[in-house]
Amino acid sequence: MIQLFNVIKNYGSGKPALDDVSIKIEKGEFVFLTGPSGAGKTTILKILFGWEHFEEGQVLVQGINVGRLDPGNIHTLRRSMGVIFQDYKLLPNKTVFENVAFAQEVTNRDQKKIKFKTWEALKNVGLTPKKDSFPPQLSGGEQQRVAIARAMVNTPPIILADEPTGNLDQEISNEILKLFEEINRNGATIVFATHSQEILKPGKHRVIVLNRGKVVSS
Amino acid sequence: MNSATQTLLTSLRTTISNIQANKQTFLISVMTIAISVGILGLFLIIFLNLNALLTSWNQHVQLVVYLKNDISFAEKSDLQDLFKSNSKIQSMEEINKEKAWEEFKLTQKNSGGLELDLGFNPLPDSYRIRFKPSENRSLHISEFAEQVQGNRGVESVEYGKKWIDRFEKFMIFCQVFLLGVGVLLSLGLILIISNTIRLSIYSRQEEIELMLLIGATPSFVKIPFMLEGIFQGLIGSLVSLGFMGAVYSYLKNQFQPSIDSIARGMEFQFISQPFLLILVGLSMLIGFVASYISTYQYMQVLNKK
Ligand SMILES: Nc1ncnc2c1ncn2[C@@H]1O[C@H](COP(=O)(O)OP(=O)(O)O)[C@@H](O)[C@H]1O
Ligand SMILES: [Mg+2]
C-alpha cells in the first residue's frame, strides 16, 4: 500500500532531511512514525501526499508512482488520503461544520450526502455542539478534532496524521488515539507521526523510529 | 444533479463571495472595462453613422451623361438602347439644354445669387440616370459610366466618382483605426483584469492551498476565478452599453431632425446588434483570457514549490 525505496530528500544545503529511507506499510496497518524533532517525520508525510519533491528513490502509494506524478494529477493521490496537518490548517472564517463540509465540496461529493456525512464525522469526534463555532474560538484539542473529522469525512483508505496529539494533555491524547484506532478498525491504513513517547507505551502498534533522516528501527 | 453542474454551482458561490470580499477592486475593474468598451463603442457609433451616411449618399448618386451638340439621331438611339438594356437602371430622364438652363437659373436665384443672363445657353443636352438601390450600386454606376463614356456623341459623364472614392478610402482607414483601438484597449484590459484576478487569488491563497492539499483538481480551483474574470467583462460591457444606449436615445430625440436635413432617409444609428454581441462577447473573452493568465501563473508558482 505505501512503499518508500531508498528515498533521499534534500531541502538545500546541509545534510539531507531524509537519507536513504526505505519503509513498507501494509494495507490496514496502524503505524507510528517517531523520532526526535527534526528527524524527518513531517518530511515523509509531505512526500507521501505529494507536497514535497524528493531527489532520489521511489515512492509508491496505492500503486501510484508519486515521484512521476504530473502536477495536474496530484489530486488523484490526495483523494486517497486524509491528512491531519501539524498546524491543523483550518479555515478561520468558516465554521466547524463548513470546514468539514469543505473537504467534500472540493472533491465534488454528492451535495445531498455532504450534510449527513459532515454531521456523522462531527459526531464521531464529539464536536456536534460546536458545529457553528469558528476555529479561533476552539481549544487546541477541539481544533485537532475538527482536523480529524475533516480528514476522515471522505472515508479515505489512508490517513496521515502529523503530531495529532501535539500539544494536548495525556487524557485528550488518549481520546484522540482511540479515535484513530476506531478509524483503523473500519479499514483505513494509519500513519501516525509523533515525537511523544507516552503515546507509544501501550505497544499495540508497529513503530518506525527515525533519527536524523535515517530509519533506526521499524 | 450531475457533478458538472454541481462544480459550477459551488464555483459560482465561491466567485460571488470572492467578489464580495474584494468589492472595490472588482468595481474598479468593471469601471475600467466599461470605460474601454465605451471608447470602442463611441468610435463604433461614429463609424457606423459615417457608413450609413455614405450609403445614403450613395443611393442618391445619379449618373449624368452630357451629350455633344452635334450628336446624330442614330447615336442617340444607340445610347438609349444601351440604357434600356441595363437591368440596374431604375429610370432615365432626358433633359434638353433649355430645361437644364432654366433649372440652373432657378436654383441660382433661389439661393440668392445673381440673376444670370449670358445671352446664350452654355449647357449641353443630357440624360439623368437613376440606378436601383443595391449593395454595389456605386460600382455599377462607375462601370456603366465607363461603358457610356466610350460611346460616340457623348461629351462627358459625371457622378461624383472621386468624391465617393475618397470617402470610401476614408472608411477603410476608419476600419483599420477601429481595429487598432480595439486591439490596444483589449491588451490594456487584459493587463488590468489579470491584475485584479491576481489580487483576488492572493486574498484566497490560504484556502486555495488547502483545497489543493485535500484533493481539489486544479480546474476546480481555477474555475471561480475564471468566472470572476468573465463576470467583470460581462458586467463592464453591459453597464457601458446600457449607458451609451441611454445617451443615444436622448441624442436621437434631440438631433434626428437636423440629421434628416443632411441626409434624407438616414437614421441616427446606434451600435447594431451584431456589434453589440461582439462587444459583450469580446469583453467576456478578455475577462476569460486575463483570468486564465493569472490562474495559470499562480499554479505554475505553486507547482514549483
Ligand atoms: N521547508 C524546509 N526547508 C528547509 N529545511 C527543512 C524544511 N522542512 C524541514 N526541514 C528540515 O528537515 C529536517 C526534517 O524536518 P521534519 O521533517 O520537519 O522533522 P520532524 O517532523 O521529524 O520534526 C529538519 O532538519 C528540518 O530543519
Ligand atoms: Mg514535524
Q: Are B144 and B84 in contact (CB under 8 A)?
A: no
Question: Both B27 and B95 in a single domain?
Answer: no
- The reply to whether A91 touches chain B by the CB within 8 Å rule is yes
Contacts of A72 in chain B (CB under 8 A): 218
Predicted confidence band at B92 (pLDDT cuts at 50, 70, 90)?
confident
Indicate the residue among B110, B143, B159 that finishes a domain: B159
Q: Which of A72, A106, A110 is facing B214, going by the closest CB pair?
A: A106
**Is the beta carbon of A83 within 6 A of some atom in ligand 1?**
no
pLDDT tens for A58-92 read 999 999 999 999 888 999 999 999 999 999 999 99
Question: Both B280 and B181 in a single domain?
Answer: yes
The grid cell for A75 is 489530486
**Is the beta carbon of A43 within 6 A of some atom in ligand 1?**
yes
- Closest ligand 1 atom to the C-alpha of A163? 21
pLDDT(B1) > 60: no
Domain that holds residue B51: 3-57+165-304
**What is the 8-class DSSP label of residue A66?**
G
Q: What is the pLDDT of residue A145?
A: 92
Question: Both B152 and B197 in a single domain?
Answer: no
Indicate the residue among B104, B138, B159 that finishes a domain: B159
Q: What is the pLDDT of residue B137?
A: 75
Q: Could you give the percent of chain A with pLDDT greater than 70? A: 100
Q: Where are the alpha helices (DSSP H) in chain B?
A: 3-21, 23-60, 73-85, 97-110, 137-149, 161-203, 205-213, 218-262, 273-304
Question: Both B227 and B288 in a single domain?
Answer: yes
Predicted confidence band at B222 (pLDDT cuts at 50, 70, 90)?
very high
Q: Which of A163-167, B65-69, B133-137, B144-148 has the lowest mean pLDDT?
A: B133-137
Whose CA is closest to atom 12 on ligand 1?
A: A17
The grid cell for A129 is 455542539
Predicted confidence band at A218 (pLDDT cuts at 50, 70, 90)?
confident
Q: Could you give the percent of chain B with pLDDT greater than 90? A: 30
Whose CA is closest to atom 6 on ligand 1?
A: A11
Question: Both B49 and B169 in a single domain?
Answer: yes
pLDDT tens for B128-161 read 888 887 777 777 888 888 888 888 888 888 887 6
Best residue among A4, A42, A195 to mutate for probing ligand 1's pocket (most ligand atoms within 8 Å of CB) is A42
**Is the beta carbon of A84 within 6 A of some atom in ligand 1?**
no
Question: Both B200 and B298 in a single domain?
Answer: yes
Q: Do A107 and B210 touch (CB under 8 A)?
A: no
Q: Which range is most confident: B101-115, B194-208, B281-295?
A: B281-295
**Is the beta carbon of A38 within 6 A of some atom in ligand 1?**
yes
Q: What is the pLDDT of residue A57?
A: 95
Q: What is the pLDDT of residue B263?
A: 66
| Mean pLDDT calculated for residue range B5-15 | 84
The grid cell for B260 is 434628416
| Mean pLDDT calculated for residue range B122-132 | 83
Contacts of A78 in chain B (CB under 8 A): 212-215
pLDDT tens for A125-157 read 899 999 999 999 999 889 999 999 999 999 999
Question: Both B49 and B67 in a single domain?
Answer: no
Q: Which of A83-92, A115-124, B248-257 has the lowest mean pLDDT?
A: B248-257
Strand partners, A173: none
Coil, strand, or helix at residue A9?
Answer: strand
Work out the burial of residue B245: count CB atoms within 10 Å of its CB; fewer than 13 is exposed, 13-18 middle, 19 or more buried. Answer: middle
Q: What is the pLDDT of residue B305?
A: 61
pLDDT tens for B152-186 read 888 888 887 677 778 888 888 988 998 999 999 99
Question: Both B114 and B203 in a single domain?
Answer: no
Alpha-carbon gap, residue A192 to B161, rounded angstroms: 89
Coil, strand, or helix at residue A84?
Answer: strand
Task: State the residue for C-alpha cell 507516552.
Answer: A198
Mean pLDDT over each residue of chain B, to the nearest integer? 85
Amino acid of residue B74 = A
Alpha-carbon gap, residue A104 to B220, rounded angstroms: 12
Q: What is the pLDDT of residue A116?
A: 93
Work out the burial of residue B295: count CB atoms within 10 Å of its CB; fewer than 13 is exposed, 13-18 middle, 19 or more buried. Answer: buried
Question: Both B171 and B126 in a single domain?
Answer: no
Question: Both B257 and B139 in a single domain?
Answer: no
Q: Do B215 and A107 touch (CB under 8 A)?
A: yes
What are the angstrom distances between the C-alpha of B49 and each of B220, B250, B272?
46, 16, 10
| Mean pLDDT calculated for residue range B227-243 | 95
pLDDT(B285) > 60: yes
Task: State the residue for C-alpha cell 454595389.
Answer: B136
**What is the 8-class DSSP label of residue A40?**
S
Indicate the residue among B108, B133, B159 that finishes a domain: B159
CA dihedral A62, A63, A64, A67 (to 10 degrees): 110
pLDDT(B106) > 60: yes
For B148, residues 6+ apart whose C-beta sits below 8 A from its C-beta are B63, B65, B79, B82, B154, B157
Whose CA is closest to atom 25 on ligand 1?
A: A38
- The ipTM assigned to this model is 0.90
Supply the pTM of this predicted model.
0.77
Number of domains present in the structure of chain B: 2
Alpha-carbon gap, residue B41 to B44, rounded angstroms: 5
Strand partners, A190: A30, A159
Q: What is the pLDDT of residue A135?
A: 95
Q: What is the pLDDT of residue B115?
A: 63
Which CATH number is B84's domain given?
3.30.70.3040
Q: What is the pLDDT of residue B147?
A: 83
Q: Do A78 and B215 touch (CB under 8 A)?
A: yes
Describe the crossing of helices B137-149 and B161-203 by its angle, rounded to 10 degrees: 160
Q: What is the pLDDT of residue A181?
A: 94
Q: Which of A196-200, B119-123, B189-193 has the lowest mean pLDDT?
A: B119-123
Question: Both B137 and B33 in a single domain?
Answer: no
Question: What is the maximum alpha-carbon separation in chain A?
Answer: 51
The grid cell for A123 is 459526531
pLDDT(B116) > 70: no
Q: Do A72 and B218 touch (CB under 8 A)?
A: yes
For B115, residues 6+ apart whose C-beta sits below 8 A from its C-beta are B105, B108, B109
Alpha-carbon gap, residue B101 to A127, rounded angstroms: 105
Contacts of A79 in chain B (CB under 8 A): 215
Q: What is the pLDDT of residue A184?
A: 95
Question: Both B28 and B135 in a single domain?
Answer: no
Q: Are A78 and A154 in contact (CB under 8 A)?
A: no
| Mean pLDDT calculated for residue range B35-41 | 92
